[in-house]
Structure 1
């Protein structure tokens, strides 16, 4: 996924892939990972294929965990051929603007 930064700045970008299936220890591991980053105003963006269908996003505990680190969920259009939003974006301290997801033809998510 291309990322454009339009001004000199310090920022953190985390790219996550969670394979399909139960979350298991994933939330504990995310909590440990996010605890490493400063809680100041340094921008943090998490991009990832969480393989978490939209209907399970709220009940999974993921949004609550990321909210506890002041990360905002950026609502995107569905990226899966069956209409799910599996590719998620979270930002801190403020939501990103002018964001689009460009399907790749090599992805198993996009219908060709």
Structure 2
């Protein structure tokens, strides 16, 4: 991995984070469907899932050899096979409990 590669990754994710932020902002204006994962305090919303899907889809299109570990997809059983390929770790909304409560 070169400094040029890292610069490309950085610029790509900056654009995608802006898109993800717009999705999150949509969620502040509406009542959210809230589900639990491992317990009553481990919440997930459709916005967590949408953000993760958008990030992985767009990153996979741009960097097809990269791997992904997504908080929401991992919680439903998606596995990642580790290799020397770059791996993105994605927590779509860090602080879902606060997000749910506005």
Q: TM-score, normalised by structure 1?
A: 0.29
Q: Which has the higher strand share?
A: 1
Q: TM-score, normalised by structure 2?
A: 0.31
